[in-house]
Every structure is written in C-alpha cells, then in structure tokens.
C-alpha cells in the first residue's frame, strides 16, 4: 500500500523541482527586467539633463561671442530670443556682482536688482551652475548660470550703461576702482523650457510602465498556469487512484466469486450436520464452522459491494419506517449503549438499498467505536434543501490521527475482527449517488476529542418528496 501511495504522489513529487526551477527563472527574469528598466530610466533622466545642459551651454557661449562682437546693446538679448528657431528658450539675463540686471530679454526688467544665491556663487567662484526654477507663471524652467568675463572695452561700456541705469533709477553711482577686477565677472543666465527633456522623461516613464505592466501580466499568466498545472497533477493522481481502485475491485470481485462457491458448500454441510444428533463437542465445532462461514460470507459481500456497487434503483419510501429497519439491523455489543433515532415524517424518492447499507455501516461503526465501555450514539435522518441528510454522532474516543489520513482506504481498520471495507463501501456508495460525506471530531472545552460526527448528504428529487402529513 505504501508503494501504491508513493506512485499516486509521483506526479507532484517529480514535477515539484521543475515548478521551483520555472519559478526561480521567472523571478530572475523579473529582477533583470526591473533592473534594466530602472537603469534605462536613470540613463534617460541623465540624458535629458545632459541635453538641456548642453543646449544651455551652447546658447551661453553664442551669447558671449555675440556680446564680445556687438557690445552691451539693450536689444541684443530680446533679438536672440525672437530669432531662436527651437522655441525652447525662455529668457536670457546678464547680472553683475550686485545682482543688478544689466541686460535681459525682457527690457522692462533691466536695472532691477535680483538677490539670488546662485548668481552670487557663480560670480564668486567663477564656476557654472545649473538648477531648475519655477517662474511666476508656475512653469518650470532649466537654468544655467554661466560666469561671463567682459573684455576691457566692454568694461567701459558696462560702466556707462550702469551710470545710465542709475540715472534712470535716480540713484548715485560710485565706481570702486579696487573692485574693477570683480566687476569684470558677470553672470549670464540662460533659462530654457524643458520640453525636449520632458519628452525623454515621458518615454522613460512609459517604458517603466510597460515593463511593470508586462511583468504583472506575466505573473498573472504564470499564476493561472501553475493553477492549471496543479489541477492537471491532481487529475492525474485521481486517475491513477481510480485505476488502482478499479484493479483492486476487479481482484476483489474475482476473489469473492471464487470464495463464495466453496464457502457455501462448507456452510451448507455444517448446517446439514447440525440437524443431526451430534455429540456436544462436535456440535460446537460445527457451530463455529457455520459462524465463521457467515463472517466470510459477509466479507465476500463487502468485497463485491466495494468492487462493483449495484446500479441505482430508485423508489419512494417512508423515512420513519426506514429508520426502524436500520435500528432492527444493528448489533449491540453491550447493554449500556444508549441508541437514539431522530427521523423526519416524510417520504423520499431515492435508492433505499444503498441508503440502508450506508446508514447501517456508519451507525454500526459508531456503536463498535464505543464498545463495551458504553456511551451514546445518535442517528438523525432528515430532508432539507440540501437533500437527504444522514448524521451519526457518538461520544466515543474519536478517530486516531493515523486513521484520519487513510479513512476511506480499503482494509484499514482499528477493529480486531474488522475487514476495513465499511467506510470504503460507504464512500463509494455515496459518490455513486452524487452525495458527499464528512467527518468531524467532537471536543469539550478544547480538550482531546470526545466523540465523532459523520454527516452524509444525498441529493434527492423535490418532485417526489412528500410530507407525511399528506
């Protein structure tokens, strides 16, 4: 039997490494895709930033060359912005060390002071600086603050321009000759719209979304694939178990037929001699032969019932009378067993013979579980929306854990003289009638099991179910 169970589980045991390998490869692929997507995103962001920086530096260099060639003309920067073909240039500005706007693409801003830490740092360190800034309109722009040195001829032009600006602002201007060298360093601010960079970022975000979405779809498909895989394994295991049971049933049927013929002869001869006037010792031997022959006869009947369940034979019968027949067919091993029956007063249309065997086996098992120590067994039979419900409850020792795992396997029993076919026959009969069977331990205050409840539900036709009152 252990070998058979090993074969029945071979599918899951063999395929488990393949499932783990497939899952591991999928996880590795997912990690590679995520790392690749993140790397691509970071490269795209850096590329967008480098694109804007290069664009701003090119503009700053061109502005510097233009200023050296044409001088500090007020209309120079607005003209550059107007003639810019790309349309991504937001504004241009030239600032001195005091933060005053010397030139600007917006002429209205010339002469204003703008205290800006970026400008001060660029003029002081003479190192370019890049950053993002938000305009008054709420638009984000990329800004390059570029240190710009004027030639000597432009320094004079700057002083004249500043004097004119100060005159317009009505503030006296004092030239500090000691700071003439510092005044030669200015800050050229180039602000561009990040439209091209935003396009690159959008593409990077879209790639991230596609990668994540693809991984989610892949994992969902894999999940359902594994479900189908596991279902296929279970179906294969069930098919193997059915084949095994069919082979076992055929063998049991052959054995039962081969045993019944000589067994009938043995029992018949023993019963024939019991009718004679025999010595006491010989009579006792004959009675033993008859009793054991009857036990073997019951075993052969059980084997046949397990191997080849009879075809359904439906008939209408009264539940109350059915319960009386069940009670009369039980064997009570002790007088201290309390047996109670609770049955509906109605009629049902079902297979009475199979139901009788199911009820007898379950109730007799409960009685045998209590044994001579005594106890309580309750049998209930009722009809409800689920169908015909058979419930057998006892307060015996409960089911051992070893038995629970092999409850319906043939020839598994805890009885000294049991065949181990009773519950197997019950399960096959219940399944042949389209029903279900379940076992549950009874416990008291979380203690060890104090009894067992078994419930069988058999579907029946509503059309022919009648209340007893009718």
For range 218-232, the mean pLDDT: 85
328: CATH: 3.30.565.10
- Is 17 a domain residue? no
Are the C-beta atoms of 370 and 335 separated by less than 8 Å? no
Query: Are residues 286 and 160 both part of a single domain?
Result: no
For range 203-209, the mean pLDDT: 83
For the cut 70, the answer to whether the pLDDT of residue 296 exceeds it is: yes
Task: Please report which confidence band the pLDDT of residue 411 belongs to, taking 50, 70 and 90 as the band edges.
Answer: low
Domain of residue 339: give its range. Answer: 312-467
Are the C-beta atoms of 188 and 146 separated by less than 8 Å? yes
- Is 455 a domain residue? yes
Query: Are residues 283 and 359 both part of a single domain?
Result: no
Query: Are residues 124 and 258 both part of a single domain?
Result: no
- Is 131 a domain residue? yes
Task: Tell me which of 172, 193, 214 is where a domain ends.
Answer: 193
Query: Are residues 299 and 330 both part of a single domain?
Result: no
- Is 80 a domain residue? yes
Query: Are residues 297 and 350 both part of a single domain?
Result: no
How confident is the model over 163-201, as pLDDT tens digits? 555 544 444 333 444 444 435 688 889 998 887 777 877
- Is 224 a domain residue? no
For the cut 80, the answer to whether the pLDDT of residue 50 exceeds it is: yes
- Is 52 a domain residue? no
Query: Are residues 442 and 335 both part of a single domain?
Result: yes
Query: Are residues 284 and 341 both part of a single domain?
Result: no
Can you state the angle between helices 280-307 and 195-274, rounded to 10 degrees? 150
For the cut 80, the answer to whether the pLDDT of residue 222 exceeds it is: yes
Query: Are residues 158 and 261 both part of a single domain?
Result: no
Cα 441–chain centre separation: 30
Domain count, the chain: 3
Query: Are residues 85 and 107 both part of a single domain?
Result: yes
- Is 106 a domain residue? yes
The pLDDT, as a whole number, for residue 268 is 83
Residue 299: count of CB within 10 angstroms of its CB: 17
Residue 149, beta-bridge partner list: 185
25, two tokens: 């490869």
Q: Taking the alpha carbons of 30, 36, 38, 40 in that order, is the dihedral positive or negative?
A: negative
Ramachandran angles phi, psi of 290, nearest 5°: -65, -45
- Is 203 a domain residue? no
For range 99-115, the mean pLDDT: 84
For the cut 70, the answer to whether the pLDDT of residue 462 exceeds it is: no
């Amino acid at each position: 039997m252990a070998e058979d169970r090993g074969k029945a589980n071979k599918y899951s045991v063999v395929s488990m490494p393949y499932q783990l390998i497939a899952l591991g490869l999928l996880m590795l692929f997912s990690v590679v895709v995520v790392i690749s997507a993140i790397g691509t995103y970071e490269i795209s962001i850096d590329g967008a930033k480098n694109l804007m920086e290069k664009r701003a530096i090119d503009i700053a260099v061109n502005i510097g060359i233009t200023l050296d060639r044409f001088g500090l003309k007020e209309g120079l920067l607005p003209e550059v912005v107007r003639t810019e073909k790309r349309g991504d240039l937001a504004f241009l500005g030239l600032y001195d060390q005091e933060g005053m706007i010397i030139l600007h693409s917006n002429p209205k801003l010339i002469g204003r002071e703008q205290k800006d830490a970026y400008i001060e740092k660029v003029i002081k360190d003479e190192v370019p600086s890049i950053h993002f800034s938000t305009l008054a309109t709420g638009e984000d722009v990329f800004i390059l603050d570029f240190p710009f040195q004027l030639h000597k001829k432009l320094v004079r032009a700057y002083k004249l321009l500043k004097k004119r600006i100060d005159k317009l602002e009505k503030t006296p201007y004092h030239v500090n000759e000691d700071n003439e060298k510092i005044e030669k360093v200015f800050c050229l601010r180039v602000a561009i719209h990040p439209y091209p960079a935003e396009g690159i970022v959008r593409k990077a975000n879209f790639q991230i979304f596609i990668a994540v979405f693809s991984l989610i779809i892949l994992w969902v498909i894999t999940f359902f694939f594994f479900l189908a895989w596991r279902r296929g394994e279970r179906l294969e295991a069930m098919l193997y178990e059915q084949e095994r049971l069919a082979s076992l049933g055929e063998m049991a049927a052959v054995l039962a037929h081969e045993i019944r013929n000589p067994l009938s002869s043995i029992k018949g001869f023993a019963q024939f001699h019991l009718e004679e006037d025999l010595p006491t010792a010989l009579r006792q031997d004959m009675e033993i032969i008859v009793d054991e022959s009857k036990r073997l006869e019951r075993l052969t009947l059980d084997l046949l019932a397990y191997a080849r369940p009879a075809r359904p034979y439906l008939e209408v019968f009264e539940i109350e009378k059915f319960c009386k027949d069940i009670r009369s067919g039980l064997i009570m091993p002790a007088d201290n067993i309390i047996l109670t029956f609770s049955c509906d007063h109605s009629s049902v249309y079902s297979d009475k013979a199979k139901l009788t065997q199911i009820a007898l086996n379950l109730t007799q098992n409960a009685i045998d579980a209590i044994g001579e120590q005594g106890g309580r067994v309750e049998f209930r039979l009722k009809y409800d929306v689920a169908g015909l419900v058979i419930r057998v409850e006892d307060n015996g020792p409960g089911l051992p854990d070893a038995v629970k795992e092999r409850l319906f396997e043939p020839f598994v029993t805890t009885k000294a003289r049991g065949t181990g076919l009773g519950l197997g026959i019950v399960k096959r009969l219940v399944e042949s009638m389209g029903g279900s069977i379940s076992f549950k331990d009874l416990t008291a205050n979380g203690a060890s099991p104090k009894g067992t409840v078994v419930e069988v539900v058999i579907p029946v036709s509503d059309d022919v179910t009648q209340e007893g009152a009718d």
